[in-house]
Amino acid sequence: MKGAKACFQRYGDLIWTKDTSADGYSVYTNWTNQLKQPSGTWKTYRTGKCSNPGSSGDNASCNKDFYESSSTNAYGGKGSRIQVSACVASFGDDECQTTTWINNDS
């Protein structure tokens, strides 16, 4: 996405946000963590926002503690996945681009 990049670092459970444009808009990353239930269906467990108050070229990170896919999770199943959306905070009309689901195994 023009202006922002987002990624998830499995080792350390870090959400990264980078401002890639000198357009004056701030950037942030929305994230969603889903856990697999014993039935095999996915259910949203946590969501959040990682803000980057810096300027062009700056990186910001948020340190999270997600379940590993191989561990028994809060719903009693095994499986954990993360999705991140890189967003540019435009005036009242934020633009975001979302990744595919990322399996959380170190």
| Residue span of the structural domain in which 25 resides | 4-103
CATH code of the domain covering residue 33: 2.60.40
Q: For residue 7, what are its two tokens?
A: 């990624």
**Distance from C-alpha of 9 to C-alpha of 11, rounded to nearest angstrom:** 6
Tens of pLDDT, residues 22-37:
988 999 999 999 999 9
Number of domains in the chain: 1
Which pLDDT tens digit goes with each residue over 90-106? Answer: 877 899 999 999 999 86
Question: Whose structure tokens read 């889903």?
Answer: 34
What predicted TM-score, i.e. pTM, was given to this entire model? 0.92
